[in-house]
Amino acid sequence: MSNDYRPMWKDLGLNLENHDALMGVLGKVYADLFLSQMNRPAKTAYLDFVMSEVHGLRIQELVEGRKKGRKVIGTYCTFVPEELVLAVDGVMVGLCAGADFATEEVEKLLPRNLCALIKSTFGFKLGGVCPYLESADMVVGENTCDGKKKAWEVLGGLVDNLYVMDLPQMKNAGAKGLLRSEYLRFKAELDKLTGKTITVESLAKAIDTVNAKRQAIYRLSALRAADPAPISGLDSLLINQIFFYEDPVRFTAQIHELCDELEARVKSHVGVKDKGTARILVSGCPMAVPNWKIPALVEGANAIIVGEESCVGERGTRNLVSREGTTVEALVDNLVDRYLQIDCAIYTPNQDRLAHIQEMVKTYQADGVILYGLQFCTPYLVEAMGIEGVLEKAGIPAIRIETDYSQEDVGQLKTRIQAFIERISE
Amino acid sequence: MTVSAGLDLGSTTLKLVLMEEGQILRRELERSVSHPHDTARRLLTLVPSGCRILATGYGRDLMEVEHQIPTITEIKAHAVGARFLAPDCSAVIDIGGQDVKAIRLDGTGRVSKFEMNERCAAGTGMFLEVMARRLGYPLDAFKNAALEGSDHLTINALCTVFAESEVVGLLNRGQAREDIARALHRSIAKRITAMCGRLGLGPADRGLVTGGGAHNGCLVAFLQSLLGCPLEPSDSSQFAGAIGCALITASAGNRLASA
């Protein structure tokens, strides 16, 4: 990234010294993990470019857009419909953070024993290192897990325009009603913020745009079912991560081009690792950029990740929104129908998730499942216990991993993951 | 060349085993101290040239990087080594210098599940070394004292550092060293038993203790009584990891030779 961006960063109120430090580390980690991979598809150059300009070109686009009245909406959850944001000509950016920063400052406001994803998010704010956050005209929190619910109470004091969306806890008729009224309330807030009104046309177009983005991901996922897999889990995770903040139309086109190359690879049986390499499905908590800890350990050993059952992954992208309907309310109902199917562990009961994991094991020919939970994440850690037992009983090897963003337990994790890979490779 | 070598680079000791036709030819053990790589290099000079070699343990990555020696995890190594030493064992409890592992084996001796200590050294050789030092015993005398002690004390702290403080407190209150030693052994046996419990290990299993902890008669006795399954260690228990490596590389070599 060139120095041309420093005035822009300064204008956004970033702490330039902290930001330089973060970018330096990020650059090195990216080179160590991604650029060192063998036999990467050529079209991953798009990912390299996006990452090299992650705080540069994309931010510039947001800044230019804001000058023309395109509002930026920052979000922390796949339940917030991008369609509504696009329908007011806004831009949605995912703000979830995947690296520890300014931890001492964070621990003045939040307890030490709290989800790393939440603490990292606060750290990026307090450290003044995230231009996406600083560009947001509205920051949307959502009542999902305990950590987030209470964290918004604190975040409200740190950002200008925090909007909290409520979500149901069960999936019943009441849930549909609640989500519908919350989406309509959000829509009204967006209308007010932007001075634009969502119409059937603008919402239908937005639905098409996001559906198209999802379909590009479906194509990518299907190609990963091949043995040997044509693309690594690391690169696939990154694609699922940039899904949350890249321009949707550009993203869709680029991923299709990548898939064209992957199709050719699959035809010629070309993969990033040998045929027969242990295949792993990762399932559980989302991995926000730049959290690449688990894929790095798995693919640094003799294995490949062939799918992610995660909000940053198939759980978040599965299912399209229906275009049936001639009124805004009807289309919003379609949003509700689609989004309520996301089987996040904050819902109770959550049986669909177990079925989806088993389905993904079959579809992607996985040899084993890593049940990934962030430390202190009660919903996913509790679910993992039962899911592990069911999978093992069904003859699907599974291992529970509970960790955070630090490097403290990497040695231990490496041994456990390698031992699991040895087990599923026999 | 029918000799194969297994190298287990643990955090406290380095082990080398040479095997041929399923027999142990030679066993070497050295403390790692502050120059583990030098110690490892010294052990490597004992390996005949042309010999297949496989490494495991805490320090295995160094062998891969510096000497291009292939590696496996301690879990796989101990599983294979344990079945060699106790052919019908279904459970392996490896009590090492800095980690503790419990491994459940299936009927064919394959690893079916395992547990390891997470971020904490409680329940490992490190815990015992620290406590022995605090009580003024050399390690051997420490475990013998524990065998002599009576059962009325309990150590509450799980953390090595906090447990040491608790020990100082007990000494200041005039409690006998051998009783404290016994309580410490029971404490870590309980912790290790809880780990085994998570794997469903119990009276129906036949177990083997491996690693340095296998030589601690008091610890093994407590584990046996808490778990309810036989845990008789072998003389070569501490070499289980290295034995496993030597066997695995030998059989890979046989597969290559007959391919």
The answer to whether the beta carbons of residues B14 and B7 sit under 8 Å apart is: yes
Calculate how close chain B gets to A422, using CA atoms only, in Å: 7
Per-10-residue mean pLDDT of chain B, 259 residues long, equals 93 94 95 84 92 93 91 96 96 92 95 88 85 93 95 92 94 96 95 93 95 93 95 92 97 75
Closest chain A residue to the Cα of B112, Cα to Cα: A423
Among B233, B225, B238, B239, residue whose Cα is nearest residue B196:
B225
pLDDT band with cut points at 50, 70 and 90 for residue A40: very high
Look at residue B122 in the predicted model and tell me its pLDDT: 76
Instruction: Give Cα A240 distance to the centre of its chain.
Output: 6
Q: Which domain holds residue B51?
A: 1-86+239-259
Look at residue A3 in the predicted model and tell me its pLDDT: 63
Beta strands of A7-109 (E only): which ranges?
72-75, 91-94
Q: What are the phi and psi torsion angles at A151 (to 5°)?
A: -65, -35
Calculate how close chain B gets to A414, using CA atoms only, in Å: 9
**Average confidence score pLDDT of chain A:** 97
Q: Say whether the peptide bond before residue A397 is cis (omega within 30 degrees of 0).
A: no
Look at residue B44 in the predicted model and tell me its pLDDT: 93
pLDDT, tens digit (0-9, with 9 covering 90-100), for A133-173: 999 999 999 999 999 999 999 999 999 999 999 999 999 99
Using the Cβ of A426 and the Cβ atoms of chain B, whether some distance falls under 8 Å is answered with yes
Look at residue B215 in the predicted model and tell me its pLDDT: 92
Using the Cβ of A407 and the Cβ atoms of chain B, whether some distance falls under 8 Å is answered with no
> Which residues on chain B are in Cβ contact (under 8 Å) with A411?
58
Query: Whole-model pTM?
Result: 0.94
Cα–Cα distance between B125 and A411 in angstroms, integer? Answer: 18
Tell me: do B97 and B71 sit in the same domain. no
Tell me: do B6 and B98 sit in the same domain. no
Using the Cβ of A388 and the Cβ atoms of chain B, whether some distance falls under 8 Å is answered with no
| Confidence check: pLDDT of A71 > 90 | yes
Strand partners for A280: A305, A368
- Find the CB nearest A415 among B74, B113, B119: B74
Look at residue B232 in the predicted model and tell me its pLDDT: 84
pLDDT, tens digit (0-9, with 9 covering 90-100), for A296-324: 999 999 999 999 999 999 999 999 999 99
Tell me: do B9 and B108 sit in the same domain. no
CATH of the domain at B190: 3.30.420.40
Tell me: do B102 and B223 sit in the same domain. yes
Tell me: do B256 and B190 sit in the same domain. no
Cα–Cα distance between A296 and A305 in angstroms, integer? Answer: 10
- Find the CB nearest B73 among A402, A408, A418: A418
Closest chain B residue to the Cα of A399, Cα to Cα: B113
Tell me: do B99 and B163 sit in the same domain. yes
Closest chain A residue to the Cα of B103, Cα to Cα: A419
pLDDT band with cut points at 50, 70 and 90 for residue A241: very high
Among A216, A178, A15, A187, residue whose Cα is nearest residue A86:
A187
Tell me: do B225 and B201 sit in the same domain. yes
- Find the CB nearest A416 among B58, B116, B119: B116
Calculate how close chain A gets to B75, using CA atoms only, in Å: 6
Q: Are the Cβ atoms of A423 and B110 closer than 8 angstroms?
A: yes
Q: How many CB pairs under 8 A join A and B?
A: 34
Look at residue B124 in the predicted model and tell me its pLDDT: 86
pLDDT, tens digit (0-9, with 9 covering 90-100), for A221-237: 999 999 999 999 999 99
Q: Are the Cβ atoms of B119 and A423 closer than 8 angstroms?
A: no
Calculate how close chain B gets to A54, using CA atoms only, in Å: 34
Tell me the CA end-to-end span of chain B in Å, nearest whole number.
17
Tell me: do B114 and B211 sit in the same domain. yes
Q: Which segment of A109-118, A261-270, B35-44, B105-114 scores lowest on mean pLDDT?
A: B35-44
DSSP state for residue A2 in the 8-state scheme: -
Which of A381, A391, A401, A416 best tests the B interface by mutation, with the highest count of B CBs <10 A? A416
The answer to whether the beta carbons of residues B136 and B177 sit under 8 Å apart is: yes
Closest chain B residue to the Cα of A423, Cα to Cα: B111
Using the Cβ of A378 and the Cβ atoms of chain B, whether some distance falls under 8 Å is answered with no
| Mean pLDDT on A326-338 | 98
Buried b (16+ CB within 10 A) or exposed e, A181-193: ebbeebbebbeeb
**Average confidence score pLDDT of chain B:** 92
Using the Cβ of A406 and the Cβ atoms of chain B, whether some distance falls under 8 Å is answered with no
> Which residues on chain A are in Cβ contact (under 8 Å) with B112?
423
> Which residues on chain A are in Cβ contact (under 8 Å) with B73?
415, 418-419, 422
Using the Cβ of A425 and the Cβ atoms of chain B, whether some distance falls under 8 Å is answered with no
- Find the CB nearest B76 among A409, A416, A419: A419
Q: Are the Cβ atoms of A412 and B119 closer than 8 angstroms?
A: yes
Calculate how close chain A gets to B149, using CA atoms only, in Å: 35
Look at residue B99 in the predicted model and tell me its pLDDT: 87
Tell me the CA end-to-end span of chain A in Å, nearest whole number.
46
Q: Are the Cβ atoms of A409 and B118 closer than 8 angstroms?
A: yes
Tell me: do B251 and B170 sit in the same domain. no
Tell me: do B94 and B191 sit in the same domain. yes
Calculate how close chain A gets to B190, using CA atoms only, in Å: 22
- Find the CB nearest B114 among A392, A409, A419: A419
Tell me: do B218 and B97 sit in the same domain. yes
> Which residues on chain A are in Cβ contact (under 8 Å) with B119?
408-409, 412
Domain count, chain B: 2
> Which residues on chain B are in Cβ contact (under 8 Å) with A375?
none
Look at residue A1 in the predicted model and tell me its pLDDT: 56
Which of B11, B80, B104, B113 best tests the A interface by mutation, with the highest count of A CBs <10 A? B113
Q: Are the Cβ atoms of A408 and B72 closer than 8 angstroms?
A: no
Tell me: do B110 and B194 sit in the same domain. yes
- The residues in A 214-273 lying below 8 A from B, measured between CB atoms, are none
Look at residue B32 in the predicted model and tell me its pLDDT: 82
